[in-house]
């Protein structure tokens, strides 16, 4: 099972999720496959992390594995084995912008 950590606002939107979400991912564990599984389980999150039409990541959303920023890695590139095994969570972070 894949462990996913969501920012507070997305946990509330998805129905007051407490802590982490665990997901079953079919096939290779990639950013895209994790987001597909997340949006399938929580359809209300569709369009919040990535655009409905283009399926590209929204500009102020970042992805981390441990303390490694994987945001700009290819969406279909395999993630580290530690994510696939559930040892390390896939973190989705809402970046803050402003002055």
Q: Are 34 and 23 in contact (CB under 8 A)?
A: yes
Q: What is the pLDDT along the chain (99 residues), one digit of tens a residue?
A: 999 999 998 999 998 788 899 999 989 999 999 999 999 999 999 999 999 899 999 999 999 999 999 999 999 999 999 999 999 999 999 877 766
Residue 8 CB contacts under 8 Å (≥ 6 apart), including other chains: none
Q: Residue 92: phi, psi to the nearest 5? A: -105, 120
Taking each continuous run of H as one helix and of E as one strand, the counts in the chain are 3, 5
Domain range summary for the chain, segments of one domain joined by +: 2-94
Q: Which tokens hold the place of 5?
A: 């950590």
Report the CATH superfamily, name and number, of domain 2-94: Beta-grasp domain (3.10.20.30)
Distance CA 41, CA 19 (A): 16
- The DSSP call for residue 49 is S
In angstroms, the CA 46 to CA 48 distance is 6
Q: pTM for the complete prediction?
A: 0.91
């Amino acid at each position: 099972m894949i462990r996913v950590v969501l920012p507070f606002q997305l946990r509330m939107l998805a129905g007051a999720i407490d802590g982490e979400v665990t997901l079953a991912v079919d096939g290779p564990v990639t950013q895209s496959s994790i987001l597909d599984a997340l949006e399938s389980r929580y359809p209300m999150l569709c369009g919040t992390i990535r655009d409905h039409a283009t399926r590209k990541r929204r500009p102020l959303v970042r992805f981390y594995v441990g303390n490694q920023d994987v945001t700009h890695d290819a969406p279909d590139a395999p993630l580290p084995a530690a994510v696939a095994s559930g040892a390390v969570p896939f973190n989705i972070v809402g970046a803050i912008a402003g002055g």
